[in-house]
Amino acid sequence: MSRGSDEEDTERGRVRRRWTGAAVTCVATALALVHVLFPGLSIDSTAVALLVIALVPWMGGLFHSIELLGIARLEYRRLEKRIDAAEERATRLDQQVDGAAATARVALAAANGPDPEDRRGTEGDASWAAGALERLVTEYAQVRERMPSSSLRTARQERIFGEMLKVVPRVPGFDTDAMLASEKPGERVAALARLYAEPDQAKLEVLLDAAAREELPFLLYWCANTTDRLLSDTAADTDSVPVGLVRRLRTRLAELPAGSDPARSLRRILRRLDPSTTPPVTGG
C-alpha cells in the first residue's frame, strides 16, 4: 500500500515547477536590467524579448506558445503538460509495484494462516469458519483502535485480510451486500476479502457504491484492488455501471487531497471504468 510519501512527492513536484518559473523570471529580468543599465545600451528588441521570457512562466495558462523574432519558439504550456504526463506515468508505475508487493504480502499471510482444509465437509467446518471470521473482525477493530497509523499497522491489517481470504468462502450465508454496508470496518474488510477470493461480476455495482462511501484508506485501497481483480477475472460490463454512480466517485475524488492514498485508489477505480479517461489530480 502507498504511504504518505506519495503526497509529499506530488507537493515537491509543484514546488519544483514554481521554483523553476521563479528562476526563469529572475534570470531573464536581471538580463533585461543589465542590458538597459549598461552604458550605450537602450531598450530595444532584445530587452523586450528578455522581458517577455520573464513573463512566460506566469502566463502559461494564456499562451500555448510564443514565437520570438521568428527563431525561438517557447512551448511552455505543452512542456507543463508533458511534465504532468510523466508524473502520472510514474505514479501508475508506483501503484503497480506497490500493488504487486501488497498482493504478495497478503498471499504470504494467507499461506501462513490457519488451514481449514482438514475441516472441509465436516459438521464443524461452518461453525469453525464463522468463529474464525468473528475473531478476525474483532482483531481488525483492535488493531485500528490500539495502533497508530504506520507501516506496522498496515502489515497487521494485510495479515488479517490474508487470513480472511481462506475463511470467508466457508462461512455459510455470507451476505456480501450487508457486510459492505456495515458500520464495522472489519466486516467491510471481510466482504472485500470474499469478493477478492471469489470475484462476482454481479457485485460490481455494490462494490463501486461501497468505494464511493468508504472513508478508511486501507479499505478504499482494497476496494481498488478488488475492482481490478473483478474486472480482470470476469466479463463484467463497465458500460452498465450507472452514470450517477460514476459521478459520485468523481465527486468524491474531487473532495480528497491530491496525492493522498484514497485519491490514488479512486483514480485507479475510475481508470478501470473508463481507460480512455484519466481523472485529473484534484483536491488540495
Tens-place pLDDT, residues 187-210: 999 999 999 999 998 999 999 999
Q: b/e for 72-108, b at 16 or more Cβ within 10 A?
A: eebebbeeeeeeeeebeeebeeebeebbeebbebbee
Task: For residue 215, give the C-alpha cell.
Answer: 472513508
- Identify the residue with better confidence: 183 or 43: 183
Amino acid at position 72, single letter: A
Domain final position from 80, 104, 139: 80
DSSP character for 241? S
Amino acid at position 83, single letter: I
- The pLDDT mean for the chain works out to 75
Q: What is the pLDDT of residues 242-252, one digit of tens each?
A: 999 999 999 99
Q: Number of folded domains in the chain?
A: 2
User: Model pTM greater than 0.75?
Assistant: no
Residues 93 and 228 reside in one and the same domain: yes
Residues 180 and 115 reside in one and the same domain: yes
Q: What is the pLDDT of residues 122-139, one digit of tens each?
A: 445 778 899 999 999 999
Residues 34 and 103 reside in one and the same domain: no
Average pLDDT (71-77) is 53
Taking the alpha carbons of 31, 76, 284, 264 in that order, is the dihedral positive or negative?
A: negative
Residues 119 and 169 reside in one and the same domain: yes
Which domain range does residue 16 map to?
A: 5-80
Task: Please answer whether residues 133 and 190 qualify as being in contact, where contact means their C-beta atoms are separated by less than 8 angstroms.
Answer: yes
- Kindly state whether residue 38 falls inside one of the protein's structural domains: yes
- Kindly state whether residue 19 falls inside one of the protein's structural domains: yes
CA distance 212 to 204: 12
Residues 187 and 122 reside in one and the same domain: yes
Residues 188 and 102 reside in one and the same domain: yes
Alpha helices in the chain (DSSP H): 5-37, 45-55, 76-112, 124-146, 151-167, 176-180, 185-197, 204-213, 217-233, 243-255, 261-273
Task: List Cα–Cα distances, 38 to 7, 17, 23, 32, 46, in angstroms.
Answer: 47, 32, 22, 10, 14
- Kindly state whether residue 237 falls inside one of the protein's structural domains: no
Task: For residue 239, give the C-alpha cell.
Answer: 458500460
What is the model's pLDDT at position 157? Answer: 93
What three-state secondary structure class fits 149? coil
The pLDDT-based confidence of 3 (bands split at 50, 70, 90) is: very low
> Is the per-residue pLDDT at 64 higher than 90?
no
Residues 183 and 65 reside in one and the same domain: no
Residues 75 and 111 reside in one and the same domain: no
CA distance 234 to 250: 24
Q: What is the pLDDT of residues 35-59, one digit of tens each?
A: 667 656 655 666 666 666 666 665 5
Task: List Cα–Cα distances, 4 to 43, 73, 205, in angstroms.
Answer: 50, 39, 29
CA distance 199 to 205: 13
